Structure 1
């Protein structure tokens, strides 16, 4: 096995569920300033959009994806689910984003946090980060809601190279922060335990899974071997067209993915044209007309 002192390079992407696509597209492009990186479909249900947002370079660590369902029932976060994700923004830009987006401002581990809800109620955060740019793009962190954070923390430390970076107790519960040394975007995972019992429900406004970054297939193979050695039930590699993926559920129940950086989002269209045309997995090309007619329409704001 290769060196696994810091085996993960941070978050690769976050995938969530939304209601109809138009409010989702409007919020993330117009309000949050994200780029539409890819218009494609769910590999397992091609009548459902799979929309990818990211920074201008479509870089791993900035990618947020959604499965939009017209008529989807509202979900709610709870134990065993990722409950929020956060973009990093520079301290100098924080006030202007807070004024623009009108969220709730709080403090966490010495940094200001702007807490927002997207059109389906998904918790989105902006966190002051001295290494971040003025524009939300790269992820700062994701929050996992757990009944017992210890087994998850041990997996992230032993399997992915995280280290404990502190804890905070508030009125609602306790937050344990884990951080990767020498990593950039998406280097932080917060483990949240609430004081009061709660129950989650999948649906619009909830996170389906979070994905961590592997440099390439060989790195992913090493990580898979390590995870299996730690008792995880890990899938074989699955080709997702823009990256290769493996999946498993961590001890607290959250669905984890490990995704490779290559081949990247410009494998089937030039970087300048990302997100302008419907790109289908090859197995669905012969059904393009049928698929296009079934997908709910939306327009991309300027």
Structure 2
């Protein structure tokens, strides 16, 4: 029997659909203050690359694109509007310092962002809001080892410090619990229980940031429908290719249909879907975002995978114009 794999290191990235490339930049960079660390396109296979619309793939993160800070967007005008519900990741939460809640309330309201009354979850203050396309997002007070990006006008003392958590809403919470335990998650030791209403919190004890997953159990909520304003998949961190393969083997032995490794240029990935329909990826930390452009120029020019580089003019002609 193969050894039990080491736990993942928490979240790696979250990928969502969006309807408009410029709107995505204007919101995640200029309102939330994240750095656009990469603009590229979907990495389809060469034979499939031009069957459907060519679309951007944006990566927003801290200053270096540290795993556990990366929100990625797939924006294109052809994507239909989705509906957030069961069978999806229904909220993505970022970490902010304890004293920054009022700053973010004022900033979001000044940019006409839909916000909701403050709530408490597991003792932390939660500011819920929506991206312009309806994507549910949260700012949660907490601590993190991530240094905030300060290049977009948000003061350092208030800057976002990577992910706090994601909320998963399966049809059957037990199925997701099983998967999280294979990945090394444990129910968080909170008083008096790991539950807070309809939420159960899981954590990777060894992770330094982006360590939480909240499982939401509300069976009467409607089914989700994929489209803009919804999460496409949640990715968890593997240390390297060997660690990823150990996790893949453990999942296959548990009965899940996991893909072979896909080279995404900035990390290597395997994918599978839970019985509820939640898409999950396991992504490696290396090689990272700085191997194809200097750190000081991250996100400034369109980067293509090697198999698309010879067709750059054709790709660029299909992409919407954006202003950085």
- Considering the TM-score relative to the shorter chain, is it more than 0.5? yes
The answer to whether 1:60 aligns with 2:55 is no
The answer to whether 1:74 aligns with 2:104 is no
Contact 1:37 1:274 in 2 (8 A): yes
Residue in structure 2 matched with residue 143 of structure 1 by the alignment: 167
CA shift at 1:164, angstroms? 1.1
Cα distance between partner residues in 2 of 1:71 and 1:210: 22
**Counterpart of 1:194 in 2: which secondary structure?**
coil
CA shift at 1:195, angstroms? 4.8
Contact 2:68 2:163 in 1 (8 A): yes
Contact 1:34 1:137 in 2 (8 A): no
Residue in structure 2 matched with residue 164 of structure 1 by the alignment: 187
Unmatched segments (≥5 aa) in structure 2: 110-114, 148-157, 189-193
**TM-score w.r.t. length of structure 2:** 0.87
Residue in structure 2 matched with residue 19 of structure 1 by the alignment: 19
CA shift at 1:73, angstroms? 2.0
Residue in structure 2 matched with residue 10 of structure 1 by the alignment: 10
Q: 1:119 aligns with which of 132, 142, 167?
A: 132
Contact 2:187 2:200 in 1 (8 A): yes
**TM-score w.r.t. length of structure 1:** 0.93
Count of paired positions: 294
Unmatched segments (≥5 aa) in structure 1: none
CA shift at 1:91, angstroms? 0.2
Residue in structure 2 matched with residue 226 of structure 1 by the alignment: 250
Cα distance between partner residues in 1 of 2:119 and 2:283: 32
Contact 1:149 1:252 in 2 (8 A): no
CA shift at 1:180, angstroms? 1.0
Tell which deviates more after alignment, 9-18 or 195-204: 195-204
Cα distance between partner residues in 2 of 1:71 and 1:239: 26
Contact 1:78 1:201 in 2 (8 A): yes
* TM alignment of 1:36-51, pairs within 5 A: 36-44=36-44, 45=49, 47-51=54-58
Contact 1:54 1:137 in 2 (8 A): no
Which has the larger share of strand?
1
Cα distance between partner residues in 2 of 1:198 and 1:114: 23
**Counterpart of 1:66 in 2: which secondary structure?**
strand
CA deviations 1:65-91 (Å, max 9, x no partner) are: 111011432111111111111001110
